[in-house]
Chains A and B, each alone.
Chain A
Amino acid sequence: MLKTFAKGGVHPSENKLSAAEPINDLPIPPVITIPLGMHLGVAAKPIVQKGDEVKTGQLIAQGNGLVSANIHSSVSGKVLKIDKALDASGYKHDSVIIQVDGDEWLETIDLSKEISDTCTLSSKDIIQKINDAGIVGLGGATFPSHVKLSVPRGKKAKYLIINGVECEPYLTSDHALMLSKGEELLTGISILSRALRAEKTLIGIEDNKPDAIENLRKIAGKYNDISVHALKVKYPQGGEKQLIKALINREVPSGGLPVDVGTVVFNVGTAFAVYEAVQKNKPLFERIVTVTGKSLSKPSNFRVRIGTPVKDLIEAAGGLPEDTGKIINGGPMMGKAISAMDISVVKGTSGILILNKNESRRKPSEPCIRCSKCISVCPMGLEPYLLMTLSEKSLHERLERDKVMDCNECGSCSYICPSNRPLLDYIRLGKSNVGKIIRMRKK
């Protein structure tokens, strides 16, 4: 019996179209737009000005406050302007726009191809390096990694969990990474483990990627505290709380963090970025992005500079298909539909998914027949049908009592609902309203 999480979950068709594709480098575009707020928390403060020359890997914006992250230029060239530009959030935000002029890397970055797998730095130094490199969670949540690594006093991260689940249908960027960069990945993981002083490291990978499991198992043999675990394919196993439950059978309490049960979770992409940052001094300015979709002629995995417009990626994957209905930044379950093609790739972009017209429209919502399927698929043990009604009626106290804040917005409820009800739309609304009330109460 393969391990998985206990409660709820769905199994959408996997559609991993680009699973066999190698990682190709995407050419650098003539102009890149780097949003300053592409991580969770406060937007970074720009430290360059219009007209400044920057090099690849140069710091262009500094983390602002406790939860924030540094941002580096992903190309060399001249800063055109710092202006508002549309980003994946659907709104215009401050961004640094750079006219590309070649690709001259900062001297400090180690350009050698050899894999260096020894790290003797102290925990503090590692965290500092990760902070400097502007690394955030690359699974999509974009939480600054140095904050996660700084375990609060009195708590201990006994387990380091590495998320190689990639439970979102279509996406294959983590899969491609695990296949081609296994050595580097494992080094990155051991560095993270060292920084956390974790006792055990568990890598969770869903069973639909047997080649990745095999590859990492082979390499992990070298480390005696790292083990690779195959997991049953079930969405949303890539959710932090679900993954912890699946691997070590512990439940993060409501409102708590993984560290409350002695764990810290990192995505494989993040671990790779940590390797590059610590061993090669390379800040986070590129990432692996899957470009996929049933109508796309060449679904692929690309290594992309942060700030590259989405349309370049689509062009490289065979161009925008005729019947495009929706362009999604991320996977089909939790990704965000984008409204324009000139939005740039950011640190949290794990994939660009193109759905065709037939797939992209919702069916009309019908009355709830109280089939309770939403309850049975909810991985958090919530009652989506009830939360939706309460949110529609703005009954915020009851929403809070019924744990709306526990919702991880995985979308399983809307996915399964036979009446096509927009459950998550309303739950998200309720969540944001209750969140506001809670914040006001704290003040």
Chain B
Amino acid sequence: MNKLITVAPSPHIHSGLSVQKLMYGVIIAMIPALLVSIAFYGIGAIAVTLISIVSCVSFEFLIQKFILNSQVRISDGSAIVTGMLLAFNLPSNLPWWIILIGAMVSIGIGKMTFGGLGNNPFNPALVGRVFLLLSFPVQMTSYPVPKGVSTPYISNIEGFTGPTPLGILKEGLKNGTPVSDVMKELPSYLDLFIGKLGGSLGEIAGAALVIGMIFMLLRKIITWHIPVSIILSVYVFTGILHLAQPSQYADPLFHIITGGLLLGAIFMATDYVTSPMTPAGMIIYGVGIGIITVLIRVFGAYPEGVSFAILIMNGFVPLINRYIKPVRFGEEVSNG
């Protein structure tokens, strides 16, 4: 059969792009944030990440091999990405068995029940994270104190666990403290941006996440539409609120560099499978995430809302894909 010439429809060449290449690109983009996390949280960060990745990949393998009896596709790297993203959303001192449950929910419920890569409507890592957040609220919100951070805001509250800046803000506002006073207790924005704040593994280092985003943009793994539209819409929305009542609402920059916003905007919302296909759709999706995030953060019960916002907008993706079409050639007739 090898001697015969091949006949196939065009095109006869391929770019060489593959799912693996894209997935490993995302993994490389996450490494700076992981390094920062290791620097601040030490061995805990490594342990959580490794457990999460290994368990996600093993669950995918087991499900594909023994339950679905389908081709094993763990080498495509998507389970590693899910594992890493799940770890990025967890505190670095989480017990191993909770991570295992999270990985099982992520891969088992979030991904494989829908038919595996390409068919899941919701971001698997976020499904796992939200499941854990609702099931183990205490463990999931008790963050260890980052190394080398000894600002008063941490020593104020219960020794070992450091709440997130957003948590402090929410708590402060509940007690009637004006925003400016709460801010005094928090480190400077620059410190927050390089990771000196409490939070889950991946979300603390805004700067490292932005480096990852630039890498992914340069390698054309993602387009600018989703991250930029999320960040801009959060900026604009919180900006309006802040201008209207500065004592009640924190300023927009604070909202962007704290919490999971950058992690969500850069790595979670841009997940191929669960985000819209067209540029216009991506912007609608991004703005939706931005607005829902701010609504939850400012008016909701939870201090943080990025995960919920992304999951809610994931649900709208099929609708967006159905109705938001790309601009067809010949549609915008510019015949002047």
Q: State if A and B touch, Cβ cutoff 8 Å.
A: yes
B6 A372 Cβ-Cβ under 8 A: no
Q: What is the size category of the interface that chain A forms with chain B? A: 35 or more
Chain A residue numbers with a CB within 8 Å of B223 are 376
Q: Contacts A249-B334, A381-B327, A385-B277 given; indicate if A324 touches B13 (C-beta within 8 A).
A: no
Q: Which residues on A sit within 8 Å (CB–CB) of B331?
A: 251, 254, 381
Interface of chain B residues 284 through 336 with chain A (CB within 8 A): 321, 325-335
Q: Give the docked Cα–Cα distance between A241 and B279 (Å).
A: 22
Which of chain B's residues have a CB closer than 8 A to the CB of A59? none
- A326 in contact with B329 given A251-B334, A418-B19, A420-B14 (CB within 8 Å): no
Question: In chain A, residues 231-290, which have Cβ atoms closer than 8 Å to a Cβ of chain B?
Answer: 241, 245, 249-254, 256, 261
Q: Select the residue from A326, A333, A367 with max chain B CB neighbours within 10 A.
A: A367
Given contacts A363-B14, A366-B73, A419-B19, contact A254 B330 (CB under 8 A): yes
Q: Is A373 an interface residue (CB 8 A)?
A: yes
Given contacts A249-B334, A381-B326, A418-B21, contact A326 B272 (CB under 8 A): no
- Count the A-B residue pairs with Cβ separation under 8 angstroms: how many? 166
Residue A226 interfacial (CB < 8 Å): no
Say if the beta carbon of B8 comes within 8 Å of chain A.
yes
In the complex, the chain B residue whose C-beta lies closest to that of A381 is B328
Interface string of A375-395 (1 = CB under 8 A from B): 110111111011000000000
Who on chain B is nearest to A408 by CB? B329
In the complex the two chains form, is A10's CB within 8 Å of B15's CB?
yes
The contact string, 1 if C-beta is below 8 Å from chain B, for chain A 47-62, is 0000000000000000
Residues 12-55 of B, flagged 1 when their CB comes within 8 A of A and 0 if not, give 11110111011000000000000000000000000000000000
Shortest Cβ distance from residue B288 to the other chain A in the assembled complex, whole angstroms: 17
Cα(A370)–Cα(B277), bound, Å: 7
Pair A360/B12 contact, Cβ less than 8 Å: yes
**Interface assignment of B176: CB less than 8 Å from any CB of chain A:** no
Complex-state Cα separation, A411 to B9, whole angstroms: 10
Closest 7 CB pairs of A and B: A411-B11, A367-B118, A381-B328, A372-B277, A380-B329, A371-B272, A418-B17
- Chain A interfacial positions (CB closer than 8 Å to B): 7, 10, 12, 90, 169, 241, 245, 249-254, 256, 261, 324-328, 330, 332-339, 353, 355, 357, 359-363, 366-373, 375-376, 378-383, 385-386, 402-403, 406, 409, 411-412, 414-420, 422, 424-425, 428
Q: 15 additional contacts, CB 8 Å, given A251-B335, A325-B6, A369-B19?
A: A251-B332, A251-B334, A253-B333, A254-B328, A256-B330, A326-B8, A332-B13, A337-B6, A337-B9, A369-B118, A370-B273, A372-B277, A375-B278, A383-B326, A418-B18
Q: List 25 A-B residue pairs with CB atoms under 8 Å apart, sorted by A's residue number.
A: A12-B15, A251-B335, A254-B331, A324-B5, A328-B10, A333-B10, A334-B10, A337-B9, A337-B12, A355-B12, A359-B12, A363-B18, A367-B116, A368-B118, A369-B273, A375-B326, A380-B329, A383-B325, A411-B10, A414-B14, A415-B11, A415-B15, A416-B15, A418-B17, A424-B9
